[in-house]
């Protein structure tokens, strides 16, 4: 799955993968910024709790977004593929200004939503400027290639990670969540080695990457985002490794970014807080010279 095509003079909406375990009770900084990007007091937010098997999940997020001042909030009680044909649910997404995918099991989410009108509608609405956020499983499924499962607490090795098709809101990254808390660096490195074009994003709990339409994301939250850029690999043993064998990955670039840091997914460049804004303020010729 690839991102839907943009219409003329329309900017794609923000994509906000969250590492799970976000603060839902105190500052709710990530949720608050999601509501603001979705229209603030005019926001119409639709929650999709399909990844979770808990009946309370949809209502819990409804309450959070109501408390933060959104004008309209509702959730889609999608529990099977047949639900994705419900015209009322499609109509709700048509008028939504923000869409939120909850945590749970990403394979449950992909096997129910994948290839349906709901999945297509989410991509089209994001291309039309609607903000889409997802936490934990809802973060993993945002990319074209989704980490479906795998081992934590391991070295990068053949077979430690499994992939599946995601929603395709972005084809530039592959996303892992609960990253530091579950020691998932090894599996993200292995996932990035499959195709070094992809940038690996490892999202800690209570931490989000706010990816703008310009391909630059800002880190928001109490943890870090680990960025794995394998495009400069000089050697990878993935293609010849046997099951469980440790990998050699030479020439990797890794950035660890806390709140306020930014990353340019197109230029593959990290910036400390406020530095990217200063870079963008340069005249075009000077900015181009600085990039090289």
**pLDDT, tens only, 168-215:** 999 999 999 999 999 999 999 999 999 899 999 999 999 999 999 999
Q: Which of 144, 158, 205, 218 does the annotation list as catalytic?
A: 205
Average pLDDT over residues 26-47: 97
Q: Which of 31, 145, 178, 276 does the annotation list as catalytic?
A: 178
Q: What is the pLDDT of residue 68?
A: 97
Q: Which domains does the chain have, with CATH numbers?
A: 15-291 (3.40.50.880)
Q: What is the pLDDT of residue 286?
A: 47
Which residues in 79-118 are b (16+ Cβ under 10 Å) and which e? eeeebbeeeebbebbeebbbbbbbbbbbbebbebbbebbb
Question: What are the tens digits of pLDDT across the range 179-191?
Answer: 999 999 999 999 9
Residues 6 or more apart in contact with residue 119 via CB below 8 angstroms: 1, 84, 113, 167
178 flagged as catalytic = yes
Q: What is the pLDDT of residue 134?
A: 98
Average pLDDT over residues 242-252: 95
CA distances (Å), origin 60, targets 18, 173, 235: 17, 29, 47
Contacts 24+ apart (CB under 8 A), 267-275: 267/291, 268/199, 268/229, 268/231, 270/227
Q: Is the pLDDT of residue 239 over 50?
A: yes
CA separation for the pair 265, 170 (Å, rounded): 11
Q: Is the pLDDT of residue 6 over 90?
A: no
CA distances (Å), origin 58, targets 61, 75, 85: 6, 6, 19
pTM of the entire predicted model: 0.91
CA distances (Å), origin 64, targets 40, 109, 201, 212: 13, 22, 26, 23
Question: What are the tens digits of pLDDT across the range 276-289?
Answer: 665 565 555 445 44
Average pLDDT over residues 254-258: 98
Q: Is the pLDDT of residue 124 over 60?
A: yes
Q: Which of 38, 110, 136, 143 does the annotation list as catalytic?
A: 136
Residues 6 or more apart in contact with residue 277 via CB below 8 angstroms: none
CA separation for the pair 36, 222 (Å, rounded): 19
Q: What is the pLDDT of residue 276?
A: 60
Q: What is the pLDDT of residue 100?
A: 98
Give SS3 for 21: coil
248 flagged as catalytic = no
Q: How confident is the model at residue 9 (pLDDT cuts 50, 70, 90)?
A: confident
Residue 117 CA neighbour count, 13 Å, CB half:
13
Q: Is the pLDDT of residue 91 over 90?
A: yes
CA separation for the pair 207, 177 (Å, rounded): 9
38 flagged as catalytic = no
Q: What is the pLDDT of residue 1?
A: 56
Question: What are the tens digits of pLDDT across the range 56-79?
Answer: 999 999 999 999 999 999 999 999
């Amino acid at each position: 799955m690839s991102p839907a095509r943009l219409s003329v003079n329309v900017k794609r909406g923000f994509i906000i993968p969250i590492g799970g375990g976000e603060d839902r009770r105190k500052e709710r900084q990530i949720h608050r910024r999601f509501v603001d990007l979705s229209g603030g007091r005019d926001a119409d937010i639709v929650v999709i709790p399909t990844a979770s098997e808990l009946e309370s999940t949809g209502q819990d997020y409804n309450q959070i977004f109501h408390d933060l001042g959104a004008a309209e909030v509702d959730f889609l009680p999608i529990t099977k593929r047949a639900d994705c044909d419900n015209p009322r649910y499609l109509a709700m997404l048509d008028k939504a200004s923000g869409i939120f995918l909850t945590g749970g099991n990403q394979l449950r989410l992909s096997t129910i939503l994948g290839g349906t009108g709901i999945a297509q509608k989410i991509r089209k609405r994001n291309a039309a400027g609607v903000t889409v956020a997802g936490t934990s499983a809802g973060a993993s499924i945002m990319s074209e290639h989704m980490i479906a499962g795998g081992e934590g607490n391991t070295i990068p090795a053949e077979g430690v990670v499994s992939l599946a098709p995601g929603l395709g809101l972005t084809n530039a990254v592959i996303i892992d969540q609960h990253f530091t808390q579950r020691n998932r660096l090894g599996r993200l490195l292995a996932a990035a080695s499959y195709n070094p074009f992809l940038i690996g994003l490892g999202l800690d709990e209570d931490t989000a990457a706010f990816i703008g339409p310009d391909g630059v994301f800002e880190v928001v939250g109490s943890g870090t985002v680990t960025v794995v850029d394998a495009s400069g690999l000089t050697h990878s043993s993935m293609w010849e490794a046997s099951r469980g064998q440790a990998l050699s990955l030479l020439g990797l670039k890794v950035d660890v970014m806390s709140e306020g840091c930014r990353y340019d997914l197109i230029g593959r460049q990290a910036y400390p807080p406020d530095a990217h804004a200063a870079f963008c303020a340069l005249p075009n010729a000077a900015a181009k010279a600085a990039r090289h």
